Amino acid sequence: MDNYLVAILATTTKLFALMTPPAVLSAFLSGTKQNDEPQRRKIALKTSCAVFIIGIVLFFFGNTMFSVFGFTLDAFRIGSGALLFITAVALMNDSPDKNKISSDEDISVVPLAIPLCMGPASIGTIIVMGTSSVGFAANMVGAVSLFIASSGIYAMLLCAKSIAKVLKNTGIAILSKLTGLLISAIAAQVVFTGISAFLK
């Protein structure tokens, strides 16, 4: 039992880190400036649910989906890495005017769930986890870890307003820039990994 708890804790920590919480928090704060508290809670819930559903589907069927559509994980890495670069540039050029959104725009699935939470790093890791998980216990560890990590994203977004009060506008701006640098580094690594695999 203790071994399973340790495995769940380790897997949850890894998945939560790969979901790039700073990027999600920054985008959530920027994209919900025009929303009231009930709308923010709704967006937070939809985001976490979308992350969990996408994660479960990839965990159990990711490898099969790639085979059916005829593309490899390395091709996905290159394509999604390029998209991730665009996200990084958008964060680096972040400004209050660019962050204004219409009241009917829903950011819960795009860009919060995809590609920020479920970006190349987390998707690739989940697919590898699902492929290497054999047996009911291993599958349950993966599923429970995904649920806890998704719940962690939900809790963080619920506290976003309090975090914003602590960070202030300057702190949020710095967080956005640092997140942009982090995402660009992840994107570069993902693209280089995909290209290297193709060249081999």
Q: What is the pLDDT along the chain (200 residues), one digit of tens a residue?
A: 678 899 999 899 888 888 878 778 878 887 888 888 999 999 999 999 999 999 999 999 987 877 787 777 777 778 777 877 876 777 677 654 444 444 456 889 988 998 789 877 788 788 878 877 888 999 999 999 999 999 999 999 999 988 888 877 777 677 767 767 877 887 788 788 888 887 87
- Show me where the domains of the chain are located: 2-199
Q: Give the pair of three-digit tokens for residue 119.
A: 């970006």
